[in-house]
Amino acid sequence: MTQAKVTLPVLRDMKARREPITWLTAYDYPTAQAMDQSGIDMILVGDSLGMTVLGYETTLPVTMDEMVVFTGAVSRAVKRAFVVGDMPFMSYQAEPAEAIRNAGRLLAQGGADAVKLEGGARLAHVVEAITNAGIPVFGHIGLTPQSASQLGGYRAQARTEETARRLVEDARALERAGAVALLVECVPPDACRLVHEALEIPILGLGSGLDCDGQLLIVHDMLGMFDRFTPKFVKKYASLGEEMRTAFTAYREEVKSGAFPTAAHTYSMAQESAG
């Protein structure tokens, strides 16, 4: 495992030699630090924090100020991983100048290495504007949660030949606009393969099969810490939510019974020296 900082050229080299890229979300200092020390290649400070951390029903209420704070916490923990900060809802859709300012905040104040925004060809002009300002942009197509109501809910996309063709067109438009990488979320593997074959930039998948250059998972999903719903594509690598409840219950019972704290958890008065 290399300790060198992951950069865009490193990600492109990984794609070229077919080394899968590992990507996880993180929203706080200790989690990001553990990921970085584990050799995770990229960390996404996703607006998914609105649901997993802040308790919103969707990602839509997340603000730019909140994204800057959480991105900063993650970036301060990271020595190696490539950090991508999410552009929240309505931080980039209104006009390119505002999008540039907000993207700049994620780099200048949040310490991110790049930003990510949702949308296909219709957002290509925004990607181009941000790129021309010197800010690396990750595209995001397929299931785009900020547009879930328009898409008919949180459901798989590009499940027909026609919609798969449009997915490829969106991907090509983003690459032409200057996107440095692309997240393809919740589409059939065949559709993701078409995107992968059509583009030269790294393609990362979230619930889209193996035919891409790397994988992303939401950390609270893979650790079993978010139980509101679990997407089909999630593999749980731990059940930390259950372990936390067990620990909290044991603590409550010991405090109630007087079993905690013991003498081992308290301080003694200093003895004064005689004469």
CA distance 158 to 166: 8
Please give the average per-residue pLDDT across 123-141, as a whole number: 98
Please give the average per-residue pLDDT across 247-262, as a whole number: 97
Please give the average per-residue pLDDT across 206-229, as a whole number: 95
Sequence-ordered alpha helix ranges (H) in the chain:
8-16, 29-37, 49-52, 64-77, 96-108, 124-132, 148-151, 161-177, 189-198, 219-222, 240-257
Given 185, 242, 253, 254, which residue is catalytic? 185
Please give the pLDDT value at position 173. 98
Whole-model pTM: value is 0.94
Please give the average per-residue pLDDT across 261-267, as a whole number: 94
Residue 1 has pLDDT above 60, yes or no: no
Please give the pLDDT value at position 192. 98
Residue 157 has pLDDT above 80, yes or no: yes
The confidence band for 272, taking pLDDT boundaries of 50, 70 and 90, is low
185 included as an active-site residue: yes
By mean pLDDT, which of 17-21, 110-114, 226-230 is the weakest?
A: 226-230
Please give the average per-residue pLDDT across 152-156, as a whole number: 79
Please give the pLDDT value at position 153. 73
Residue 147, amino acid? S
Residue 273 has pLDDT above 60, yes or no: no
